[in-house]
Amino acid sequence: MMLDRDLQSVQEVRQCLAQATGAQKQLQAMSQSQIDQIVQGMAETARSEAGRLAALAVEETGYGRIADKTVKNLFAANDVYQSIKDKKTVGIIRRDEQKRVWEIAQPVGVIAGIVPSTNPTSTVIFKALISVKAGNAIVFSPHPQAAKCTKEAAALMQAAAERAGAPAGLISCITEPTLAASQELMRHSKTDVILATGGTAMVKAAYSSGKPAYGVGPGNVPVYIHASADIGRAIRQTIQSKTFDYGTICASEQALVIDKSIKRKVIAELKQQGAYFLDDHERKRVATIILKAGGLNPAIVGKSPQAIAELAGILVPEDAKLLIAEESEIGMAYPFSIEKLAPILALYTASDTAEASSICTRLLELGGLGHTIGLHCEDTQVIERFVLDKPASRIVVNSGTTFGGIGATTGIAPSLTLACGSYGNNVTSDNIGPEHLFNIKRVAFGLREMELSSTPVVATPATSSAAPSAISRDEIAEIIKSVLLELQSTNR
């Protein structure tokens, strides 16, 4: 039975969708230059408000660091914007004169934007930019723990869009984030596509809604450090990546898999650069707080190493950047082997590349299929052999997986929605962008006539007798001679 709050939230969703539908029709009638001007205005506002939104997110959720969340907001406002600003998304977007095919972009309509608590404001900026660039309206559904900062980010994007000429109601956010509201948003007839970022249950709900959905999966990211790696650089990039916003990005490293031959050097480098190795007692204490009720304990998400240590009842140095525990087993019974959205790493030792490959694959199968894997290696042949069979959509080589996966330090399309392909039950393995949010119609001109046989073949019915074959002159002569001889014999 629905409570009053549920009913109010459902009604709010319906009002937002009605406004979004009308606004989208107006946006769809605009030119490419008009839409580009709107998107530019949104990006500029996001850039100027990046720090304030980051502070609001940390204050409300308790996850991560203001400085790093500011960087994430700026990544959406700068990197994502730069990657999409010149894309054609209105009218005829491509002409193939040789094949005589034109491609026309048609917006999908109204997007349902599901927002997580770990990256609330950057997700709003990102999804608003790519949705409007593709000619769509978007209604956001915030996580209850991040409702205020999500609403503020959406309001800023709408205000900026309106100043640049967009209609009212193009970008909106639910103010009563209930389960009933989220379900109504995802299932309503006016919702055309879902952009789902959040926990596994939320993504499954999106796929079960009956609507087209772009979801993401968990990112239990393993990273193999091969004997040929530049160890100093590999560790520096790994620590920078894993500790960014205290590990709240799903593409961050979760386990290091290192060659036995370089283990001592890797451990020494990790310690020198600020990693703290847990002893057996500390390891057991931390293990007890990683999981809660069969899943990741939200109390450790986006927290500092010192806060996690306090929660576990242990002490770690004030300058410790992340916690590391050596591990040899993989499975839910071994908490260090799962995805940990916190500055905690597992460390596995492999005797050779084949064993390292097996460990990495098993870690992905445990909870990161289709997402991301990392490799630090200077041997091209090893890289080629290693990457071919990995069930991951992003294979980041010689870069931190957090930044490499989202396209900040690699040539992958900059994005904050990282799909996992069929490995992770997603419809695509791409980094999501505007091109995923419009349909493409194809106008195809005739190039040639269809070639058909000039002499029709008439089939002979199966029941009819075969036509007699032609008889030669000699055969006729032999028949006549035979008949005459027979007559002569009869007259005697």
For residue 203, give both structure tokens. Answer: 């993504």
**Gap between the Cα atoms of 436 and 438, Å rounded:** 6
**Gap between the Cα atoms of 213 and 419, Å rounded:** 11
Number of H helices, E strands in the chain: 17, 17
CA dihedral over 215, 195, 291, 179, signed as positive or negative: negative
SS3 category, 334: coil
Question: What type of residue is 44?
Answer: E
R_g of the chain, CA atoms, integer Å:
32
Cβ-count burial 6-17 (b if 16+ within 10 Å, e if not): bebbbebbeebb
- How distant is the alpha carbon of residue 488 from its chain centre? 101
The residues annotated as belonging to the active site are 250
Residue 356, H or E segment: helix 353-367
Contact 131, 138 (CB under 8 A): yes
- How distant is the alpha carbon of residue 4 from its chain centre? 36
Alpha-carbon torsion angle 475, 476, 479, 483, nearest 10: -160
